[in-house]
A = this chain, B = another copy of it.
Protein backbone atom coordinates (compact mmCIF):
# COMPACT_ATOMS: atom_id res chain seq x y z
CA UNK A 1 0.00 0.00 0.00
CA UNK A 2 1.21 3.50 -0.74
CA UNK A 3 2.33 5.81 2.03
CA UNK A 4 -0.21 8.17 3.51
CA UNK A 5 0.76 11.50 5.07
CA UNK A 6 -1.56 14.13 6.48
CA UNK A 7 -0.75 17.75 5.62
CA UNK A 8 -1.45 20.19 8.43
CA UNK A 9 -2.45 23.82 7.76
CA UNK A 10 -0.96 25.11 10.98
CA UNK A 11 0.18 28.12 12.94
CA UNK A 12 -3.33 29.35 13.86
CA UNK A 13 -2.00 29.48 16.54
CA UNK A 14 1.27 27.59 16.87
CA UNK A 15 0.30 26.14 20.29
CA UNK A 16 -2.80 24.56 18.77
CA UNK A 17 -0.69 23.02 16.02
CA UNK A 18 1.65 21.58 18.65
CA UNK A 19 -1.35 20.33 20.63
CA UNK A 20 -2.68 18.49 17.57
CA UNK A 21 0.69 16.78 17.12
CA UNK A 22 0.67 15.70 20.78
CA UNK A 23 -2.85 14.34 20.40
CA UNK A 24 -1.92 12.47 17.20
CA UNK A 25 1.10 11.04 19.03
CA UNK A 26 -1.19 9.86 21.84
CA UNK A 27 -3.39 7.90 19.38
CA UNK A 28 -0.47 5.50 18.83
CA UNK A 29 0.81 2.80 21.17
CA UNK A 30 4.43 3.08 20.07
CA UNK A 31 7.40 0.81 20.62
CA UNK A 32 9.68 2.93 18.46
CA UNK A 33 9.66 6.08 16.33
CA UNK A 34 8.53 4.19 13.26
CA UNK A 35 5.17 3.33 14.84
CA UNK A 36 4.21 7.00 14.83
CA UNK A 37 2.21 8.74 12.11
CA UNK A 38 3.78 10.93 9.42
CA UNK A 39 2.65 14.55 9.11
CA UNK A 40 3.69 17.45 6.90
CA UNK A 41 3.14 20.63 8.88
CA UNK A 42 3.03 24.13 7.46
CA UNK A 43 3.42 26.11 10.67
CA UNK A 44 2.43 29.47 9.23
CA UNK A 45 1.57 32.01 11.94
CA UNK A 46 1.43 34.70 9.22
CA UNK A 47 -1.91 33.57 7.77
CA UNK A 48 -4.01 36.79 7.84
CA UNK A 49 -6.03 37.06 11.06
CA UNK A 50 -9.37 35.25 10.87
CA UNK A 51 -10.70 37.46 13.64
CA UNK A 52 -9.69 40.67 11.84
CA UNK A 53 -11.41 39.48 8.65
CA UNK A 54 -14.57 37.98 10.15
CA UNK A 55 -15.26 40.19 13.16
CA UNK A 56 -13.39 43.45 12.80
CA UNK A 57 -14.02 43.58 9.04
CA UNK A 58 -10.70 45.30 8.41
CA UNK A 59 -8.43 42.39 7.57
CA UNK A 60 -7.16 40.59 4.49
CA UNK A 61 -9.14 37.51 3.38
CA UNK A 62 -7.14 34.50 4.66
CA UNK A 63 -8.74 32.23 2.00
CA UNK A 64 -6.07 32.66 -0.70
CA UNK A 65 -3.22 32.09 1.80
CA UNK A 66 -4.91 28.90 3.07
CA UNK A 67 -5.55 27.69 -0.50
CA UNK A 68 -1.88 28.22 -1.32
CA UNK A 69 -0.77 26.34 1.80
CA UNK A 70 -3.08 23.47 0.84
CA UNK A 71 -1.63 23.30 -2.66
CA UNK A 72 1.92 23.30 -1.34
CA UNK A 73 1.15 20.51 1.09
CA UNK A 74 -0.45 18.45 -1.70
CA UNK A 75 2.57 19.09 -3.93
CA UNK A 76 4.86 17.99 -1.09
CA UNK A 77 3.09 14.63 -0.84
CA UNK A 78 0.16 15.06 1.56
CA UNK A 79 -2.66 12.57 0.90
CA UNK A 80 -5.19 14.44 3.07
CA UNK A 81 -5.35 17.80 4.83
CA UNK A 82 -6.20 18.83 8.38
CA UNK A 83 -6.42 22.25 10.05
CA UNK A 84 -6.39 22.62 13.85
CA UNK A 85 -8.29 25.95 13.88
CA UNK A 86 -12.09 25.93 14.11
CA UNK A 87 -12.54 29.53 12.95
CA UNK A 88 -10.42 28.99 9.83
CA UNK A 89 -12.89 26.30 8.72
CA UNK A 90 -14.99 29.24 7.48
CA UNK A 91 -12.55 29.10 4.54
CA UNK A 92 -12.92 25.34 4.00
CA UNK A 93 -14.42 25.83 0.53
CA UNK A 94 -11.36 27.81 -0.62
CA UNK A 95 -9.14 24.97 0.66
CA UNK A 96 -11.24 22.17 -0.84
CA UNK A 97 -11.41 23.99 -4.16
CA UNK A 98 -7.62 24.30 -4.36
CA UNK A 99 -6.68 20.62 -4.02
CA UNK A 100 -7.74 17.15 -5.12
CA UNK A 101 -6.97 15.39 -1.80
CA UNK A 102 -9.58 15.11 0.98
CA UNK A 103 -9.88 17.80 3.64
CA UNK A 104 -10.58 16.21 7.05
CA UNK A 105 -13.04 18.81 8.31
CA UNK A 106 -12.76 19.16 12.07
CA UNK A 107 -16.26 20.71 12.00
CA UNK A 108 -18.11 18.01 10.05
CA UNK A 109 -16.32 15.18 11.87
CA UNK A 110 -16.99 16.66 15.32
CA UNK A 111 -20.70 17.21 14.71
CA UNK A 112 -21.02 13.70 13.25
CA UNK A 113 -19.29 12.34 16.35
CA UNK A 114 -21.64 14.27 18.66
CA UNK A 115 -24.66 13.09 16.68
CA UNK A 116 -23.78 9.49 17.59
CA UNK A 117 -24.93 10.16 21.17
CA UNK A 118 -27.30 13.16 20.82
CA UNK A 119 -30.85 13.16 19.47
CA UNK A 120 -32.41 15.57 16.95
CA UNK A 121 -33.34 18.87 18.57
CA UNK A 122 -30.54 18.66 21.17
CA UNK A 123 -28.34 21.70 21.67
CA UNK A 124 -24.54 21.74 21.65
CA UNK A 125 -23.05 24.51 23.80
CA UNK A 126 -20.11 26.20 22.11
CA UNK A 127 -16.94 27.29 23.86
CA UNK A 128 -15.60 29.03 20.79
CA UNK A 129 -14.61 32.28 19.21
CA UNK A 130 -17.49 34.65 18.45
CA UNK A 131 -16.06 34.57 14.91
CA UNK A 132 -17.15 30.92 14.72
CA UNK A 133 -20.63 32.02 15.76
CA UNK A 134 -20.98 35.04 13.49
CA UNK A 135 -19.53 33.21 10.47
CA UNK A 136 -21.86 30.26 11.12
CA UNK A 137 -18.96 27.82 10.82
CA UNK A 138 -20.94 24.95 12.39
CA UNK A 139 -24.41 25.78 10.99
CA UNK A 140 -24.55 23.45 7.97
CA UNK A 141 -23.18 20.46 9.88
CA UNK A 142 -25.53 20.98 12.85
CA UNK A 143 -28.51 21.42 10.57
CA UNK A 144 -27.68 18.23 8.64
CA UNK A 145 -27.98 16.32 11.93
CA UNK A 146 -31.00 18.24 13.27
CA UNK A 147 -28.92 19.71 16.11
CA UNK A 148 -28.93 23.25 17.54
CA UNK A 149 -26.21 25.53 18.85
CA UNK A 150 -26.17 27.40 22.17
CA UNK A 151 -23.74 30.28 22.70
CA UNK A 152 -22.50 32.26 25.69
CA UNK A 153 -24.19 35.69 25.70
CA UNK A 154 -20.94 37.63 26.07
CA UNK A 155 -18.97 37.04 22.84
CA UNK A 156 -16.38 39.78 23.48
CA UNK A 157 -15.50 38.13 26.79
CA UNK A 158 -14.80 34.83 24.98
CA UNK A 159 -12.66 36.69 22.47
CA UNK A 160 -10.68 38.36 25.25
CA UNK A 161 -9.99 34.92 26.74
CA UNK A 162 -8.75 33.62 23.36
CA UNK A 163 -6.50 36.64 22.91
CA UNK A 164 -5.03 36.28 26.38
CA UNK A 165 -4.31 32.57 25.78
CA UNK A 166 -2.63 33.39 22.45
CA UNK A 167 -0.45 35.96 24.24
CA UNK A 168 0.18 34.36 27.64
CA UNK A 169 -0.87 30.72 27.40
CA UNK A 170 -3.58 29.23 29.65
CA UNK A 171 -4.15 31.60 32.59
CA UNK A 172 -6.35 31.55 35.69
CA UNK A 173 -8.40 34.43 34.30
CA UNK A 174 -9.07 32.64 30.99
CA UNK A 175 -9.99 29.50 32.94
CA UNK A 176 -12.55 31.46 34.98
CA UNK A 177 -14.14 32.91 31.82
CA UNK A 178 -14.31 29.44 30.27
CA UNK A 179 -15.88 27.83 33.33
CA UNK A 180 -18.46 30.63 33.65
CA UNK A 181 -19.38 30.17 29.98
CA UNK A 182 -19.68 26.39 30.44
CA UNK A 183 -22.02 26.96 33.40
CA UNK A 184 -24.11 29.40 31.38
CA UNK A 185 -24.44 26.90 28.52
CA UNK A 186 -25.48 24.15 30.94
CA UNK A 187 -28.20 26.46 32.26
CA UNK A 188 -29.35 27.08 28.68
CA UNK A 189 -29.98 23.31 28.46
CA UNK A 190 -27.02 22.23 26.31
CA UNK A 191 -26.73 18.43 26.15
CA UNK A 192 -23.02 18.55 25.34
CA UNK A 193 -20.25 21.13 25.16
CA UNK A 194 -17.83 21.61 22.29
CA UNK A 195 -14.35 22.95 23.03
CA UNK A 196 -14.32 24.42 19.53
CA UNK A 197 -11.48 26.87 19.68
CA UNK A 198 -8.03 25.37 19.68
CA UNK A 199 -6.96 27.86 22.37
CA UNK A 200 -9.69 26.44 24.60
CA UNK A 201 -8.56 22.90 23.75
CA UNK A 202 -5.44 23.73 25.73
CA UNK A 203 -7.71 24.01 28.79
CA UNK A 204 -10.61 21.67 27.99
CA UNK A 205 -9.52 19.09 30.55
CA UNK A 206 -9.69 21.68 33.34
CA UNK A 207 -13.40 22.36 32.75
CA UNK A 208 -15.54 21.59 35.77
CA UNK A 209 -19.10 21.12 34.48
CA UNK A 210 -21.50 18.18 34.59
CA UNK A 211 -21.77 17.75 30.82
CA UNK A 212 -19.86 15.71 28.26
CA UNK A 213 -17.21 17.89 26.61
CA UNK A 214 -16.05 17.10 23.09
CA UNK A 215 -12.73 18.63 22.09
CA UNK A 216 -12.77 19.12 18.32
CA UNK A 217 -8.97 18.70 18.18
CA UNK A 218 -9.37 15.19 19.64
CA UNK A 219 -11.78 14.32 16.84
CA UNK A 220 -9.32 15.64 14.27
CA UNK A 221 -6.43 13.63 15.76
CA UNK A 222 -8.55 10.46 15.56
CA UNK A 223 -9.43 11.20 11.92
CA UNK A 224 -5.75 11.69 11.05
CA UNK A 225 -4.95 8.37 12.70
CA UNK A 226 -7.73 6.64 10.77
CA UNK A 227 -6.67 8.13 7.42
CA UNK A 228 -3.07 7.00 7.77
CA UNK A 229 -3.69 3.71 9.55
CA UNK A 230 -6.08 2.52 6.87
CA UNK A 231 -3.15 2.51 4.47
CA UNK A 232 -0.34 1.24 6.64
CA UNK A 233 -2.28 -1.64 8.17
CA UNK A 234 -2.64 -2.61 11.81
CA UNK A 235 -0.04 -1.32 14.29
CA UNK A 236 3.19 -3.25 14.77
CA UNK A 237 2.23 -4.82 18.08
CA UNK A 238 -0.80 -6.45 16.47
CA UNK A 239 1.24 -7.71 13.52
CA UNK A 240 3.73 -9.24 15.96
CA UNK A 241 0.99 -11.03 17.89
CA UNK A 242 -0.38 -12.44 14.63
CA UNK A 243 3.02 -13.49 13.24
A residues lining the B interface (CB < 8 Å) = 3, 11-15, 17-18, 21-22, 25, 30-47, 49, 72, 75-77, 163, 166-167
Instruction: State which of B33, B35, B72, B163 has its C-beta within 8 Å of the C-beta of A77.
Output: B72
The copy count of this chain in the complex is: 2
A157 to B229, CA, bound (A): 33
CB–CB B33/A38 < 8 A: no
Which of A22, A31, A34, A77 has the largest count of B CB atoms less than 10 A from its CB?
A34
Given A18-B21, A18-B22, A11 and B33 contact (CB-CB distance below 8 Å): yes
A40 to B44, CA, bound (A): 8
Interchain nearest-CB distance for A44 vs B (Å): 5
29 contacts across the A-B interface (CB closer than 8 A): A3-B46, A11-B33, A11-B38, A13-B36, A14-B25, A14-B33, A15-B25, A18-B22, A21-B21, A21-B43, A30-B166, A32-B49, A32-B163, A33-B47, A33-B166, A34-B46, A34-B49, A35-B45, A36-B43, A38-B43, A38-B46, A39-B43, A40-B40, A40-B41, A40-B43, A42-B76, A75-B75, A75-B76, A76-B76
Chain A binding surface, main DSSP class = mixed
CB–CB B38/A44 < 8 A: yes
Instruction: State which of B3, B30, B167 has its C-beta within 8 Å of the C-beta of A32.
Output: B167
Chain B: which residue is nearest A32 at the CB level? B166
Instruction: State which of B22, B33, B47, B76 has its C-beta within 8 Å of the C-beta of A45.
Output: B33
Interchain nearest-CB distance for A48 vs B (Å): 9
Given A37-B45, A40-B41, A18 and B25 contact (CB-CB distance below 8 Å): yes
Instruction: State which of B45, B49, B167 has its C-beta within 8 Å of the C-beta of A38.
Output: B45
Instruction: State which of B12, B36, B42 has its C-beta within 8 Å of the C-beta of A14.
Output: B36
The interface residues of chain B lying within 8 Å CB-to-CB of A38 are 11, 43-46
Interchain nearest-CB distance for A80 vs B (Å): 14
The interface residues of chain B lying within 8 Å CB-to-CB of A39 are 41, 43
Interchain nearest-CB distance for A230 vs B (Å): 16
Chain B: which residue is nearest A37 at the CB level? B45
The interface residues of chain B lying within 8 Å CB-to-CB of A25 are 14-15, 18
The interface residues of chain B lying within 8 Å CB-to-CB of A15 are 25
